[in-house]
Amino acid sequence: MNQPLSGIFTPNITPLDARGRLDEDKLRAYVDWLIERGVHGLYPNGSTGEFVRFTPEERRRVIEVVVDQTRGRVPILAGAAEANVAETIRACDLYGSLGCRAVAIVAPFYYRLAPDGVFAYFKEIADQVSIDVTLYNIPAFASPIDVATVKRLAQECPRVVGIKDSSGDIPHMMRMISEVRPIRKDFFFLTGWDASLVPMLMVGCDGGTNATSGVVPELTRAIYEACKAGQWERAMQLQYRLLPLFDAMIATLEFPEGFRRGARIRGWDLGQSRQPLSPQQSSAAEATQRKLQEMLAGFDFVQSRPSPNREIAPGASDEVINRIVHEVLSQLKTL
């Protein structure tokens, strides 16, 4: 039976070495850290991972490394968007053969397509691939996926099992859920907009693919657990702690540089993005990092990362996760 696409999936940053190449050792260590700190799944080759700035071969190597290091501990939702249908299908089948739970495919980008074109694109892929497909709606960067198209794909394509929506549009999400859930109870809804994580979970989302989980996985885990327990007041208290962190990381720098800076504060120097920064942007990045340092200092779980060679004791991860969630919730009791 396939693992559910629920909980918090981390769209992880892609670590680069001093020469701008994929740093495989650091990626492996970062994967271990994220899993130990409580994420429910991994989402390599997403927007936070800057997939468009890597070659197809590099993207495939990222998936190979993440799958190998994860060793089945959590499900992997692999970004599989390529520049055309044939390459996307090839990537999907490869990732399925490697053991990924599903793939996420962004709607066609660069060329803005009408809804019929978006439907035709996804149907062509879904009818041919050997792995479950999650639609990826990010209208800021790609052709939008409207409610009618989601419903039509859910009806006609069994391989389409969910949608990751990064619009942040709560009514849009509610309309999708109300149209699709009655006909596909197995269809998953994930939010990619951290600023509305709790409201999205409240209206029926199954989880999220949240960039802040790559910096504060303990906090996003605690939010999800509070929502699952119906502790909505506590969940909103946590959401208001998450909101300024997300705003600082996403709004003040070229995306996703702010999240690289946040990870650095947690002890993860994941290298420089392949997008060059001007001197002014570099100064702004340093200022943002200092601001984030002050913000994160208020959390007890912010500490140096474990050694990259540290092994996670078999069977110990649940205990570690429960302790971390307890620490976060205890810290925020006075809010």
Query: Helix, strand or coil for residue 103?
Result: strand
Judge residue 220's burial from the number of C-beta atoms within 10 Å of its C-beta, 0-12 exposed, 13-18 middle, 19 or more buried: buried
CA 2 to chain centre: 19
Name the token pair of 73: 């501990």
Peptide bond preceding 256 in cis form (omega within 30 of 0): yes
Phi then psi dihedrals of residue 106, to 5 deg? -70, 150
Dihedral angle at the C-alpha atoms of 142, 164, 204, 130, nearest 10 degrees? 130
Look at the chain and count its residues: 335
Query: In whole angstroms, what is the distance from residue 98 CA to residue 119 CA?
Result: 27
- Is residue 45 within 8 A of residue 37, CB to CB? The reply is no
- Is residue 258 within 8 A of residue 242, CB to CB? The reply is no
Query: Helix, strand or coil for residue 18?
Result: coil
Query: Helix, strand or coil for residue 25?
Result: helix
Who contacts 298 (Cβ-Cβ below 8 Å, separation ≥6)?
none
- Nearest in space to 102 (alpha carbons), one of 136, 78, 67: 78
Considering the candidates 30, 43, 95, 136, report the single residue annotated as catalytic.
136
Query: Helix, strand or coil for residue 41?
Result: strand
Considering the candidates 30, 95, 151, 164, report the single residue annotated as catalytic.
164
164: annotated active-site residue: yes
Query: In whole angstroms, what is the distance from residue 75 CA to residue 135 CA?
Result: 17
Strands 102-106 and 77-79: parallel
Residue type, 175: R
Query: In whole angstroms, what is the distance from residue 73 CA to residue 99 CA?
Result: 12
Q: Catalogue the active-site residues.
A: 136, 164
